[in-house]
């Protein structure tokens, strides 16, 4: 499958973002550089002289509707107001509101600006125990918040259940297009999906285990500065299993030997804030396998991204190893 971005498109998006700088009263000479590409293209803008920095996210069309983006921002604003987590502030445009856009090749590209959060991404080779204990507590606070938060009437976000994660309605593509996936490998993953679907159906989607989640708390979306663990990028927030937030946190690490230890620290942090049933704990490996299959599909549908390029060589092979281990569990 072809990717979503190439160098020419990224440059056109950058120029579109530059054309909006006055919306946040930035100097026209502000330097705008690509930060990252994933579903969206994200740029950092730094104003000369003042050195003021903001982050500009340019949404790709066809993934989120305007209503979904506005709902994401509603949750971020509520989380900041209630001091649930430390996360960048969405910035109001000069004419009011948080959302603006430019047109490119007949399509509206929605854009949101955020304050720039300092900090560094945790290294996967570092000792992550403390960060995962913090992240468990943060996840618990997020989940507590959504149980009591009265969402706006027009609030709409995607659902992350089996069908929309790895099934026929998957948001991120089909794992069958994963690089280097053999016929035998495909059959193994089909069996894995059948077991996953059965166990997830048995676990159910009651409100004590399924609700609004961040859904992408991987290391790339964490920023550490001193004792602070900041959370960024709510672009994938939606309705899913609360335990899935742990699975997202170990993205691209699922096959590493440290997972069991990280899980223990995450649970410890979570339970320092609120209860977590043994039934939910026992389901965490299922969510890790579900997330791994989703990312296997994502690697195939986003080959142009830096993350996909970095891991593509061995990712499918490691997924098959995980699937084999998953099927061997009772």
Take residue 172 and report the two structure tokens written for it. 């991120």
Residue 178's alpha-carbon distances to 5, 233, 302, in angstroms, are: 18, 25, 10
pLDDT at 302: 87
Question: What six digits make up the tokens of 68?
Answer: 């979904």
What's the chain's length in residues? Answer: 330
Average pLDDT over residues 257-278: 97
Query: Residue 254 falls within a domain, yes or no?
Result: yes
Task: Report DSSP letters for 152-195, one per residue.
Answer: -TT----EESHHHHTSTT-TT--GGG-TT--HHHHHHHHHHHHH
- Which among 81, 122, 75 has a CA at the least distance from the CA of 221? 122
Is 75 inside any structural domain? yes
Same domain, 36 and 86: yes
Residues 213 and 275 in one domain: yes
Compute the CA torsion angle 20, 54, 231, 162 (nearest 10 deg): 20
pLDDT of residue 330: 67
Q: Which helix (H) or strand (E) holds 44?
A: strand 41-46
Shared domain check, 321 and 234: yes
- Please check whether residue 123 lies inside any domain of the structure: no
CB 261 within 8 A of CB 218: no
pLDDT single digits (tens) 19-45? 999 999 999 999 999 999 988 999 999
- Claim to verify: residue 170 and residue 98 sit in the same structural domain: no
73-118 residue pLDDT tens: 999 999 999 999 999 999 999 999 999 999 999 999 999 999 999 9
pTM metric for this prediction: 0.95
Predicted pLDDT at 123: 93
> How much of the chain, in percent, has pLDDT values that exceed 70?
99
The span from the CA of 60 to the CA of 41, in Å, is 8
- Of 83, 115, 147, which closes a domain? 115
Q: Residues 108, 134: one domain? A: no
Tokens of 203: 């676990």
CB atoms within 10 A of CB 203: 18
How far apart (Å, rounded) are the C-alpha atoms in residues 154 and 69?
11
- Asked if 67 and 192 sit in the same domain, the reply is no
Domain extent for 146: 129-328
Domain count, the chain: 2
pLDDT, residue 149, reads: 97
Which pLDDT does position 202 carry in this prediction?
98
């Amino acid at each position: 499958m072809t990717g979503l971005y190439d160098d020419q498109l990224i440059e056109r998006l950058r120029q579109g973002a530059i054309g909006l700088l006055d919306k946040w009263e930035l100097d026209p000479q502000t330097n705008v550089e690509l930060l990252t590409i994933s579903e969206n293209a994200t740029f950092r803008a730094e104003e000369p002289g003042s050195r003021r920095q903001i982050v500009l996210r340019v949404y790709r069309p066809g993934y989120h509707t305007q209503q979904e983006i506005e709902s994401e921002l509603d949750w971020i604003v509520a989380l900041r107001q209630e001091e649930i987590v430390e996360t960048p502030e969405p910035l109001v445009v000069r004419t009011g509101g948080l959302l603006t856009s430019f047109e490119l090749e007949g399509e509206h590209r929605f854009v949101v600006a955020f304050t720039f959060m300092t900090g560094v991404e945790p290294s996967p080779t570092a000792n992550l125990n403390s960060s995962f204990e913090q992240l468990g507590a943060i996840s618990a606070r997020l989940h507590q918040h959504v149980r009591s938060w009265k969402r706006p009437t027009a609030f709409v976000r995607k659902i992350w259940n089996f069908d929309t994660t790895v099934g026929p309605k998957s948001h991120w593509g089909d794992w069958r297009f994963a690089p280097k996936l053999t016929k035998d490998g495909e059959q193994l993953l089909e069996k894995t999906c059948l077991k996953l679907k059965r166990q997830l159906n048995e676990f159910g989607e009651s409100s004590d285990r399924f609700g609004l989640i961040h859904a992408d708390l991987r290391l790339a979306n964490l920023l550490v500065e001193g004792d602070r663990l900041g959370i960024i990028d709510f672009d994938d927030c939606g309705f899913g299993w609360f335990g899935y937030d742990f699975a997202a946190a170990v993205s691209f690490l699922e096959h590493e030997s440290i997972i069991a230890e990280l899980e223990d620290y995450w649970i410890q942090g979570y339970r320092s804030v609120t209860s977590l049933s043994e039934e939910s704990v026992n389901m965490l490996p299922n969510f890790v396998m579900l997330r791994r299959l989703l990312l296997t599909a994502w690697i195939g549908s986003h080959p142009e991204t830096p993350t996909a390029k970095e891991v593509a060589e061995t990712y499918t092979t490691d997924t098959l190893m995980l699937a084999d281990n998953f099927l061997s569990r009772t």
